[in-house]
C-alpha cells in the first residue's frame, strides 16, 4: 500500500469519524446523560436535513446571489428548529415516560413512524438534495496524488466547532453545571433549588438541536429522504453504547475507533461485510466491557 | 360460576383455536392464506410474551430467528424446486457448485431439526453470555437491534449464495405436493392452527408453572431471585431460546404460506413491529399475542392497500397509545371487564 493510499484512508477515517461524532453527540446527551432512549432521534436528524433543504430553496427563490453563504444560515436554522421541536417534544411527550425505558423505546419508535410519514406527505417520497456552494465543491490537492474533498474538510471543521462548543457549554457555564447536576443526582439537585423539569427540557432540546446540525451536514454528503433517519439511528446508538454512556469523551473515542476500523475494513472487505464485522466487533467488546469502552466508574 | 384466571386463559385459547379453524369454512382461500400469514407472526408474538411480558427482557431482534427459520425452510423448498439444477439466483451469479452449508437442506427431517436447533442453541449461547454479564434492559434491546441489522446487512451482501435483497422465492412444491393450489393451502392452514394451538397450550402451561413464577420474580426483582440461589441468567437465556425457536417456527410457516422470504421481512423495522403485536394483544397474554398479530396484520394489509399514506400514522399512534393507555393490551382490557363484573361492577 502506497503512502498516498494510506493517507487517503486515514483522511476517510477522520471524515467518517466527524460525521459519526456529529450524529452521536446529540444522542450522547439525550441517551447518555439523560437516559432517555429516543428512537426518533434519527427523524430529528432528518428534520435538520429538511430545514437545510428548505433554507436552500428559500435562498434560491429570494436571494439567488447569496447561495454561496446559505449554509451559514441553514446550519443555525437546522439547529434552532430541531432545538425548538425537541423542547416541545420533551414537554408534551417524553416527560410522560421518565423511568420507563422500554416504554420510551416503543413510544418514540411510534413517534418516528409518524414523523417519517409526515415527511413523506410534505416533501414526497423521493430524495431531495441541495446544491453545494461552489467553494465547497472540488478538492484540495496539497501534493500530487492526494485529493481532499472540500466539503469533507468543512465538515471536519464544523465538527470541531460543535464539539468544542458542547464541551464549553457543559463544563464552563451555569447551564451546563445544572445539566450535569440533574443528570447525576436528580433529587439532590431539586433539593438545592434547581428547576429539574426546566433543565430536562433544555437538555433534551440541546440534544435534539445537535441532531439537527448532523442532519444539515448529511445534505452536504448525500441526499435526504423520509427514511434517512432510520438509516442512522442504529449506528448512532452503537457509537454511544460502545463509548460508554455518561461519558462524552467516550463517545468521541468510540466514534473515532469505529470510523477508522470501518474505513480500513472497507478497504479490505466488501462494504456489507465490513459493516457486519464492525457490528459484531462492537457486540464482542461490549461483552467484555458491558458498560462501554470508556465507562466512568461511579456509584449507581 | 366463577372461573379462575388460569381456566379463563385455557378457555380463551380453545375458543381462539376453534374460531381459527372455523375460518376454513367462512373465508375464501385468499383471505385464509392471509390469516395464515398473520398467524406465523403469532408464533413470534407468543415468544415475545414469554420473554418480555413475563421475563422483562425486550428483544428487538426476533426477526433474526424468524429469518433463520424462514430462510432454512425456503432453502429446502428452493432446492426441491430447482433440483437437479442449482437455485436460479446462484446460476445468475455464476456459482457453479452448491455451497457446503446448503447441503443439509436437501433432506426435510434435517431441515426441520435445524430450524429448531440452530435458533435454540444460538439464542441460548448469545443470551447466556450477555445476561451473565448482567447486561439487560435497554442495552440488551440495542444489542439485539444491532444483531438484526447485522443479519440483514449480511444477507443483502450475499446476493450469490442466499439471494441478497430479493430473498428466496419461486418455490411451489413441498415434497412433490403443490403448495399454491387451494386444497393444499387449506391443509397447510389447518396444520399451522394445530401447531399454534399446541404452542399456545405449552406457553400457558409454562406461565402457570414454577418456572413462570420465577420468570415474573426475575422481571420484578432480579437481585432477590439471584440471592435466593437461582441462576437467573440461565433462566432468562432459556426462555429467550424458547422464544427464538417459536420465532423460527413462525418464519418456517411464513415461507410455506407466502412462498417468499426476504431481508426486509426480518430486519430492524420488522423486528420492532413484532413487538407491537404482543403489546397490542397484551404482553402478559398468550392468546392475546396471537389476536394482536392477526389484528395488526389485518389492519396493515387493509390500511396499506386502501389508505397507504395513513398506515404509518396509524401504526405509530398504536405504539404510543398502547404504551400510554393500554400497557396490558387488549387482554388487559378484557381482564378488567371480567374482574369488574366479578366484583359486582366495582372497578378496582
At B344 the pLDDT is: 47
Helix H or strand E encompassing B177: strand B177-178
Helix H or strand E encompassing B169: strand B168-169
Tell me, yes or no, if A117 comes closer than 8 A to chain B by beta carbon. yes
Q: Cell numbers 443483502 correspond to what residue?
A: B156
d(CA A163, CA B322): 38
B227 to chain A, closest Cα gap in Å:
19
Q: Do B320 and A238 touch (CB under 8 A)?
A: no
Q: Do B272 and A109 touch (CB under 8 A)?
A: yes
**Is A51 a residue whose pLDDT tops 70?**
yes
Q: What average pLDDT does the segment A24-49 reach?
A: 90
At B165 the pLDDT is: 86
Q: How large a percentage of chain B has pLDDT more than 70?
A: 96
Strand stretches in chain A, DSSP E? 139-140, 148-149
At B2 the pLDDT is: 63
Q: What is the mean pLDDT of chain B?
A: 88
Q: Do A114 and B317 touch (CB under 8 A)?
A: yes
Q: Give DSSP secondary structure letters for B245-312.
A: HHHHHHHHHHHHHHSEE-GGGTSHHHHHHHHHHHHHH-TT-HHHHHHHHHHHHHHHHHHHHH-HHHHH
Per-residue confidence band for A296, with pLDDT thresholds at 50, 70 and 90: low
Q: What is the mean pLDDT of chain A?
A: 87
Q: Do B150 and A103 touch (CB under 8 A)?
A: no
Which residues, other chains included, contact B187 with Cβ-Cβ below 8 Å and sequence gap of 6+? none
Which residues from chain B sit within 8 angstroms of residue A241, using beta carbons?
139, 142
Q: Which ranges in chain B belong to alpha helices (H)?
A: 5-26, 29-48, 62-82, 88-92, 108-132, 138-157, 159-162, 182-207, 210-227, 232-258, 268-281, 286-306, 308-325, 329-342
Q: B283 near B53, Cβ under 8 Å? A: yes
B135 to chain A, closest Cα gap in Å:
6
B155 to chain A, closest Cα gap in Å:
9
Task: Of A139-153, A237-251, B114-128, B132-146, give the range with the top mean pLDDT.
Answer: B114-128
At B346 the pLDDT is: 39
Q: What average pLDDT does the segment B187-193 reach?
A: 92
pLDDT in tens, B69-84: 999 999 999 998 887 7
Domain parsing of chain B, residue ranges: 5-342
Tell me, yes or no, if A140 comes closer than 8 A to chain B by beta carbon. no
Q: Do A279 and B149 touch (CB under 8 A)?
A: yes
Per-residue confidence band for B340, with pLDDT thresholds at 50, 70 and 90: low
Between residues B339 and B225, the one the model is more confident about: B225
Q: Do B146 and A279 touch (CB under 8 A)?
A: yes
Amino acid at each position: 500500500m502506497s503512502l498516498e493510499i494510506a493517507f487517503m484512508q486515514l483522511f476517510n477515517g477522520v471524515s467518517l469519524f466527524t460525521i459519526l461524532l456529529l450524529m452521536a453527540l446529540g444522542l450522547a446527551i439525550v441517551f447518555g446523560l439523560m437516559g432517555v432512549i429516543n428512537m426518533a432521534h434519527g427523524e430529528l436528524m432528518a428534520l435538520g436535513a429538511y430545514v437545510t433543504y428548505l433554507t436552500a430553496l428559500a435562498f434560491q427563490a429570494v436571494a439567488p446571489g447569496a447561495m454561496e453563504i446559505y449554509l451559514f444560515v441553514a446550519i443555525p436554522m437546522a439547529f434552532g428548529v430541531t432545538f425548538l421541536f425537541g423542547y416541545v417534544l420533551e414537554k408534551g411527550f417524553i416527560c410522560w415516560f421518565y423511568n420507563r425505558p422500554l416504554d420510551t423505546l416503543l413510544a418514540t419508535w411510534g413517534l418516528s413512524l409518524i414523523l417519517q410519514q409526515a415527511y413523506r406527505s410534505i416533501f414526497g417520497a423521493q430524495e431531495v438534495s441541495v446544491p453545494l456552494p461552489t467553494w465547497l465543491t472540488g478538492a484540495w490537492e496539497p501534493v500530487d496524488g492526494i485529493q481532499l474533498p472540500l466539503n469533507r474538510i468543512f465538515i471536519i471543521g464544523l465538527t470541531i466547532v460543535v464539539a468544542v462548543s458542547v464541551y464549553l457549554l457543559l463544563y464552563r457555564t451555569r447551564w451546563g453545571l445544572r445539566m450535569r447536576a440533574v443528570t447525576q443526582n436528580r433529587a439532590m439537585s431539586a433539593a438545592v433549588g434547581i428547576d429539574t423539569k426546566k433543565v430536562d427540557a433544555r437538555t433534551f432540546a440541546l440534544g435534539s438541536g445537535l441532531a439537527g446540525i448532523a442532519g444539515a451536514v448529511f445534505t452536504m454528503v448525500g441526499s435526504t429522504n423520509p427514511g434517512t433517519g432510520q438509516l442512522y439511528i442504529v449506528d448512532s446508538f452503537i457509537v454511544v453504547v460502545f463509548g460508554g454512556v455518561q461519558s462524552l469523551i467516550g463517545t468521541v473515542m468510540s466514534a473515532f475507533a469505529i470510523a477508522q476500523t470501518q474505513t480500513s475494513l472497507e478497504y479490505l472487505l466488501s462494504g456489507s461485510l465490513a459493516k457486519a464485522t464492525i457490528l459484531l466487533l462492537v457486540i464482542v467488546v461490549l461483552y467484555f466491557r458491558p458498560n462501554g469502552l470508556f465507562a466512568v466508574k461511579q456509584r449507581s | 360460576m366463577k372461573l379462575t384466571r388460569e381456566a379463563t386463559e385455557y378457555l380463551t385459547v380453545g375458543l381462539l383455536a376453534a374460531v381459527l379453524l372455523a375460518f376454513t369454512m367462512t373465508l375464501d382461500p385468499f383471505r385464509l392464506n392471509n390469516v395464515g400469514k398473520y398467524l406465523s407472526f403469532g408464533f413470534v408474538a407468543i415468544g415475545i410474551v414469554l420473554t418480555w411480558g413475563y421475563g422483562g427482557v425486550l428483544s428487538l431482534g426476533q426477526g433474526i430467528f424468524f429469518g433463520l427459520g424462514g430462510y432454512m425452510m425456503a432453502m429446502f423448498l428452493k432446492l426441491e424446486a430447482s433440483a437437479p439444477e442449482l437455485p436460479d439466483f446462484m446460476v445468475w451469479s455464476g456459482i457453479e457448485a452448491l455451497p457446503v452449508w446448503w447441503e443439509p437442506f436437501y433432506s426435510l427431517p434435517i431441515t426441520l431439526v435445524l430450524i429448531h436447533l440452530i435458533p435454540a442453541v444460538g439464542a441460548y449461547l448469545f443470551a447466556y453470555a450477555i445476561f451473565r454479564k448482567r447486561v439487560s434492559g435497554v442495552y440488551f434491546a440495542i444489542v439485539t437491534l444491532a444483531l438484526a441489522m447485522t443479519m440483514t446487512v449480511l444477507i443483502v451482501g450475499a446476493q450469490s449464495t442466499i439471494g441478497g435483497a430479493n430473498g428466496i422465492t419461486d418455490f411451489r412444491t413441498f415434497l412433490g405436493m403443490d403448495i399454491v393450489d387451494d386444497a393444499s393451502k387449506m391443509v397447510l392452514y389447518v396444520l399451522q392452527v394445530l401447531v399454534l394451538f399446541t404452542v399456545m397450550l405449552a406457553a400457558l402451561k409454562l406461565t402457570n408453572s414454577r418456572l413462570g413464577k420465577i420468570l415474573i420474580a426475575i422481571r420484578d426483582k432480579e437481585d432477590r431471585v439471584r440471592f435466593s440461589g437461582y441462576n437467573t441468567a440461565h433462566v432468562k437465556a432459556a426462555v429467550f431460546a424458547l422464544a427464538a425457536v417459536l420465532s423460527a417456527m413462525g418464519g418456517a410457516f411464513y415461507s410455506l404460506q407466502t412462498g417468499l422470504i426476504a431481508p426486509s421481512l426480518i430486519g430492524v423495522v420488522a423486528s420492532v413491529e413484532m413487538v407491537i403485536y404482543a403489546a397490542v394483544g397484551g404482553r402478559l397474554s398468550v392468546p392475546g399475542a396471537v389476536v394482536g398479530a392477526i389484528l395488526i396484520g389485518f389492519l396493515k394489509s387493509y390500511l396499506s392497500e386502501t389508505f397507504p399514506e395513513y398506515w404509518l400514522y396509524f401504526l405509530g399512534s398504536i405504539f404510543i397509545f398502547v404504551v400510554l393507555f393500554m400497557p396490558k393490551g387488549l387482554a388487559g382490557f378484557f381482564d378488567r371487564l371480567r374482574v369488574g363484573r366479578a366484583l359486582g361492577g366495582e372497578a378496582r
